[in-house]
Amino acid sequence: MPLDRRAFIRGSALTLGGALSLRRLPRAGAAQPTIWDRRSLQRLRIWDLHGHLTGVGGTAAERIRWILRYARRLGIERVVFFMGLRFRRNPAPREFRRDNDDLMRALEAAGEHALGFVYLNPNYPEESLQELDRCVRNGPLVGVKLWVAARATAAGVLAIVRRAAELRVPVYQHTWYKTTGNLPGESTPEDAARLAAACPGAKIIAGHTGGQWELGIRAIRRRGNLWAGLGGSDPTAGMVEMAVRELGAARVLYGSDCPGRSFASQLAKVLGAEIAPVEKRLILGANLRRLLTAALAAKGIPVQP
């Protein structure tokens, strides 16, 4: 389709970095800012589902402070972190305990700007359940992260997810449809859907919306206890629109996968989507706050919805 004149002028202004002149151009039917400064972003009350302590140097405390400095620049109110100072695909119990200790040390340094999920390995079900109790029931963490050690359909996962449901915390399950083939323990969105069906009381987030989001959204849409986590894939036009259309805005969660991905590129998925302002607010923060309400209340952390 040929570009109309106004779109062309606006595009050129962007290319030239003419942010100020862009503001003065007429915008047909636009009810939302074209330029999001920190203040307008702060008003959205953004909570980021997905952050890591890798990719930057220093102690756990130094790393989280450094990352949160950038989050604040983008007006992000809170970031949920998981895993330790390095990525371990199939950690032994002493390794995931150390990772969770590093995470909790970082959270202490971050104060109210960060939250954390416990990292577990379903190949060690007993030790994982003990760790879940140590860090979530008796500790400060408010959710569970499962990565690529075992698929969501593997033995050992269900007990963890059931326990998470009892503790009323969500489970973030990494999912991807890789063109080159998944890792042996890497879940697809379909695996997450099976897990969600097997444990209807659990609240499960299908990470990365499956990477290939057109397939991922279809795979999870029938399960009301599955959410799409938007973080950590390239910002592609149409992704958020399709997720909202097929799942409803209430089941879509913004996350960045920082610092491996930039806050700006991941926020842009939502801010640039052709959806209603109220839907953006849900996706950027309100949905995650609702998912975490019980966990935060149990820990005496007051939160405005």
Q: Distance (Å, rounded) from C-alpha 253 to C-alpha 303?
A: 18
Cβ closest to Zn ion, residue 10 vs residue 50: 50
> How far lies 98's CA from each of 44, 53, 150, 286, in Å?
35, 13, 20, 31
Cβ closest to Zn ion, residue 42 vs residue 66: 66
Q: Is 228 helix (H, G, I), strand (E, B) or coil?
A: strand
Characterize the bridge pairing of strands 114-119 and 76-82.
Answer: parallel
Cβ closest to Zn ion, residue 13 vs residue 74: 74
CB of 84 to Zn ion, least distance (A): 12
CB of 204 to Zn ion, least distance (A): 16
CB of 281 to Zn ion, least distance (A): 24
Burial class (CB in 10 A: 0-12, 13-18, 19+), 115: buried
Burial class (CB in 10 A: 0-12, 13-18, 19+), 98: middle
CB of 255 to Zn ion, least distance (A): 8
CB of 173 to Zn ion, least distance (A): 12
Cβ closest to Zn ion, residue 99 vs residue 257: 257
Cβ closest to Zn ion, residue 13 vs residue 120: 120
CB of 259 to Zn ion, least distance (A): 10
Residue nearest Zn ion, CB atom distance = 257
Strands (E), 240-283: 252-253
Cβ closest to Zn ion, residue 102 vs residue 257: 257
Cβ closest to Zn ion, residue 81 vs residue 124: 81
Residues of this chain that interact with Zn ion (CB under 5 A) are 257
| Closest C-alpha to 117, from 156, 167, 69 | 167
Characterize the bridge pairing of strands 204-206 and 226-229.
Answer: parallel
196 is written with which tokens?
A: 């969600």
Residue 286, C-beta contacts closer than 8 angstroms, at least 6 positions apart:
45, 305
CB of 87 to Zn ion, least distance (A): 8
Note the maximum CA span of the chain.
63
CB of 102 to Zn ion, least distance (A): 16
Q: Which residue has the tokens 């004149």?
A: 5
Burial class (CB in 10 A: 0-12, 13-18, 19+), 272: middle
Cβ closest to Zn ion, residue 22 vs residue 146: 146
